[in-house]
Structure 1
Amino acid sequence: MASQPHDLWVQLPPHKLRSLARAWLDEDSPGPDAAAVAVGPAPRRAQLLCKSGGVLAGAPFVDAIFGECGCRVSWRLREGALLPPGRTLVAEAEGPGAALLLAERAALNCLGRCSGVATAARRAVSLARAAGWAGTVAGTRKTTPGFRLAEKYALAVGGADPHRYDLGGLLMIKDNHLAAAGAPPGAGGGGGAGAARVLAPPGGGVVGAGLAQRGFWRRLAVECGSLGAALGAAGAGADIVLLDNFSPEELREVAAEVKVKFPGVTVEASGGVTLETLPHILGPHVDVVSMGCLTHAAPALDFSMAVLPPE
């Protein structure tokens, strides 16, 4: 396989790639395929083609899918390559004819989904850099069930930060954590005094409980819906203050005040950010913008497979 940008593919555990490939193949073909009899086991070659512009991503997963079927893929373009509009040859696969057709749909679905996410990530990062912002564009856990590893990988291919991989990847206290801990309604997003009583360490507090679980590698993030909550969380010791669902104007004001009083705190902005609204929320006091739309709303690129005539 062609070298990957920054060798991202090396980070993917081979056993996990095989496991995912088997699961996707089992979903598409859990039993006998009578049409395979018409094709047989004779060796064949096929072209993998992209019919829309974007960023190519998903090669390690496609390799694993075809590999499980006893086929081999030769890539014509590198992972992360820009795909022009129109018909583009990205790879060739070879193996038993019936096996190529067995792998076809799972491989194309994976290529289309990964490339769509990588394309959205590349666009978001390009918008941020064009605006002169040097912070981090990140994804979220809003991924397709059973497809998280592929989508997180695709975010990285597109130049975005994948963000935490799973629930335990970051010690994050969100509004529902506050509610489940018995906080009064609106405590996380309410005024300074109410937020401080819930968040601050005197007597423990929700952030205090979080701090007790923080380790040498695990940072504490707190979702905040108001200036009071943000200052309360930062003052209580949070490493990351997540400003959620603020208007662009409010976001810039709150981020600036948090940074003035707590310059070492990481300020993350999130909540309904799209490619259209992204340039409006960037600012010198925002360190990270996390965007669920990079995965849950990214349109898949259009790929197809063409089996070549016998030589």
Structure 2
Amino acid sequence: MLIKEVERFIEEDLGYDDVSCTIVPDRPVKAIIFTKEACVIAGIKEAESILCYLGVQAETTLKDGDHVNESDMIFRLKGGAVSILRAERLALNFLGHLSGIATLTRACVDIVRRHSETTRVACTRKTTPGIRKFEKLAVAAGGGDTHRFNLSDSVMIKDNHVKLMGIEAAIDAAKKTSFIRKIEVEVESAEDAVLAAKLGADIIMLDNMQPEAVRETLEILKEKGLRDSVIVEASGGISQENLEDYAKTGVDVISMGSLIHKSRWIDLSLEIIS
């Protein structure tokens, strides 16, 4: 975490006159951060950045992606009482939110692995403004794929691009941007998937297609000799409840906005012990 990011988060939480933490005697204390439920932990580095900035010594043997059980200790802390109280909520917020994302991602990856060793589970750009990179890194900690971090990473031609330009013109324009960027085209039919593949798309996103339609589209691409030339991604309306049906289709990537926006925060706590 960059210093300017830490300072922005601290400024938001402390405000201009911290009247809550400064009422306690500022003496050296020891504390622990522990989890109240089993989870895949994430946010270790973010929490460390916050604690370190406020002068709190933080020790842990864990790394993002590790599985922890209920009551497991995440951090052992030493520092001034005021500093530990100031760091408490920020550190717990990052750990709770990011661990929730990592835990849900791991559960989804496990579902997919029962049917495919190669299909990737990816997130999307449906993220919280200002903390996207942390949320996407939590997906990676859970075993998922981060997809694009921003609009500069690759070219994605979506339905509104097609309405404005048409598939052929949009792909032609995308090819002119840079030779290093992959081109992904969002389609809603097997016909458009074939067209995009023939025009040189690197990735084809099958948007809001039911599992049977995904399977049929893959078969059509195979019949036309196009299947091996493209990465095929299924996206739209995919949740933990219907994920297994998509995993059985043989698609290369399953992207799920729900990995982030439907994840549940993990319950952690900080306790001063001496």
For the pair 1:54 / 2:17, whether they are aligned, the reply is no
Q: Is the 8 A contact 1:116 1:299 kept in 2?
A: yes
Question: Distance in 2 between the 1:272 and 1:156 partners?
Answer: 21
Number of the residue aligned with 1:94: 78
Matched, 1:128 2:112: yes
Q: 1:305 is matched by which residue type in structure 2? A: L
Matches of residues 22-37 of structure 1 in structure 2 within 5 Å? Answer: 22-37=7-22
Which residue identity lines up with residue 42 of structure 2 in the other structure? A
Matched, 1:306 2:271: yes
1:91-149 Cα deviation digits (max 9, x unpaired):
11221110111111110000001100110111111111112342111111111111111
Aligned length: 272
Aligned to 1:212: 176
Describe the SS at the equivalent of 2:238: coil
Of 225, 232, 252, the residue aligned with 2:215 is 252
Distance 2:9 2:145 in 1: 26
Say if 2:227 is the partner of 1:242: no
Matches of 1:235 and 1:307, distance apart in 2: 63
Paired with 2:122 and 2:3, the residues of 1 have a C-alpha distance of 27
* Separation in 1, partners of 2:23, 2:2: 30
Q: Distance in 1 between matches of 2:52 and 2:19?
A: 22
Q: CA deviation at 1:79?
A: 2.9
- Aligned-pair distance for 1:56? 0.8
Pairing partner for 2:142 from 144, 152, 158 = 158
User: 119, 132, 138: which is aligned to 1:148?
Assistant: 132
> Given the alignment, which residue of 257, 268, 272 partners 1:292?
257
Instruction: Assess if the C-alpha contact under 8 Å between 2:185 and 2:205 holds in 1.
Output: yes
Q: Which runs of 5+ in 2 are unaligned?
A: none
SS of 2:271's partner is strand
Runs of 4 or more consecutive aligned structure 1 residues displaced over 6 Å after TM superposition: none
CA-CA distance at 1:275 after TM superposition: 1.1
Please list, as runs of the form range in 1=range in 2, the aligned pairs for 1:158-237 lying within 5 A after superposition.
Answer: 158-179=142-163, 181=164, 183=165, 198-200=166-168, 205-215=169-179, 217-237=180-200
Other structure's SS at 1:141 match: coil
- Tell me, in whole angstroms, the C-alpha distance in 1 between the residues paired with 2:85 and 2:155: 44
- How far apart are residue 27 of structure 1 and its match? 1.2
Partner SS state of residue 123, structure 1: helix
Aligned mates of 1:35, 1:287 — CA distance in 2: 51
Please, what TM-score do these two structures have when normalized by structure 2?
Answer: 0.94
Rounded to whole Å, the distance in 1 between the matches of 2:238 and 2:249 is 17
The change in CA–CA distance for 1:24 and 1:37 in structure 2 (over 3 A counts) is closer
CA distance in 2, matches of 1:260, 1:211: 26
**Aligned-pair Cα RMSD in Å:** 1.5
Structure 1 vs Structure 2: percent identity of aligned residues?
36
Q: Is the 8 A contact 2:35 2:267 kept in 1?
A: yes
Distance in 2 between residues matched to 1:287 and 1:37, nearest whole Å: 54
Report how far residue 285 of structure 1 moved: 4.1
Query: Match of 2:99?
Result: 115
Distance in 1 (CA, whole Å) between partners of 2:12 and 2:257 is 26
**TM-score when scaled to structure 1?**
0.83
- Partner of residue 279, structure 1: 244
Runs of 5+ consecutive residues of structure 1 not aligned to the other structure: 1-15, 184-197
How far apart are residue 284 of structure 1 and its match?
5.8
Secondary structure in 2 matching 1:160: coil
